[in-house]
Amino acid sequence: MNQRDTLPLSRDAGDDPMVAAADAKAAEPQPARAPAAPTPASSRRAMGQSHIHESARAQVAGAAHYIDDLPEVKGTLYAAPILSTVAHGRLNGVDASAALALPGVRGVVLSADVPGDKLLAAFAHDEPVFAIDTVQHIGQVIGLVVAESVMQARRAVRAVQLDITPLPAVLSVHEALKAESYVLPPVFVRRGNAATGLAQSEHRLQGAFEVGGQEHFYLEGQIAYALPLEQKQWWIYSSTQHPGEVQHWVAHALGIDNHAVRVECRRMGGGFGGKETQAGHLAVWAAVAAHKFGRAVKLRLDRDEDFMVTGKRHPFAYEYDVGFDGTGRITGLKLQMAANCGFSADLSGPVADRAVFHSDNAYYLGDVEIASYRCKTNTQSHTAFRGFGGPQGVIVIEAILGDIARTLGLDAQDVRLRNLYGKDATEGRNVTHYQMTVEDNILHALMPQLERDANYRERQAAIAAWNAKSPVLKRGMAITPVKFGISFTATLFNQAGALVHVYTDGSVQVNHGGTEMGQGLHTKVAQIVADELGLPLHRVLVTASDTSKVPNASATAASSGTDLNGRAAQFAARNVRDNLASFVAGLDGCGAGAVQFKCGAEGGQVISPKKVRAFDDVVKEAYANRIQLWSDGFYRTPKIHYDKATLTGRPFYYFSYGAACSEVVIDTLTGESRVVAVDILHDVGHSINPAIDIGQIEGGFVQGMGWLTTEQLVWTDKGHLATHAPSTYKIPATGDVPRHFKVELWPEANREDNVGGSKAVGEPPFMLAISVYEALRNAVAAGRGGVEATAPVVLMAPATAENVLRALGRMGD
> Can you tell me the distance from the alpha carbon of 308 to that of 295, in angstroms, rounded to the nearest whole number?
27
> Can you tell me the distance from the alpha carbon of 218 to that of 421, in angstroms, rounded to the nearest whole number?
36
**439: annotated active-site residue:** no
Sign of CA dihedral 43, 45, 50, 53: positive
In sequence order, which ranges of 241-366 are alpha helices (DSSP H)? 243-254, 279-293, 303-309, 348-357
Q: How far is CA 773 from the centre of its chain?
A: 19
DSSP structural state of residue 343:
S
Show Cβ contacts of residue 484 under 8 Å, excluding neighbours closer than 6 positions. Answer: 358, 387, 390, 559, 655, 656, 657, 763, 764, 767
> Can you tell me the distance from the alpha carbon of 608 to that of 587, in angstroms, rounded to the nearest whole number?
10
| 539 C-beta neighbours (distance < 10 Å), count | 20
Closest CA to 507 of 457, 479, 483, 543: 543
Q: 196 near 306, Cβ under 8 Å? A: no
According to DSSP, the residues that pair with 224 across neighbouring strands are: 238, 299
Segments of 620-739 assigned E as strands: 630-636, 641-643, 648-650, 654-667, 673-683
Backbone angles phi, psi at 682, to 5 degrees: -130, 150
Of 220, 711, 744, 763, the catalytic one is: 763
| 491 C-beta neighbours (distance < 10 Å), count | 17
CA distances from 739 to 14, 30, 733, 778 (A): 22, 9, 13, 21
Q: Which amino acid is at 29?
A: P
**Residue 727 zone, left/alpha/beta (φ > 0; ψ -120 to 50; rest):** alpha
Q: 393 near 375, Cβ under 8 Å? A: no
Q: 375 near 183, Cβ under 8 Å? A: yes
Active site members: 763
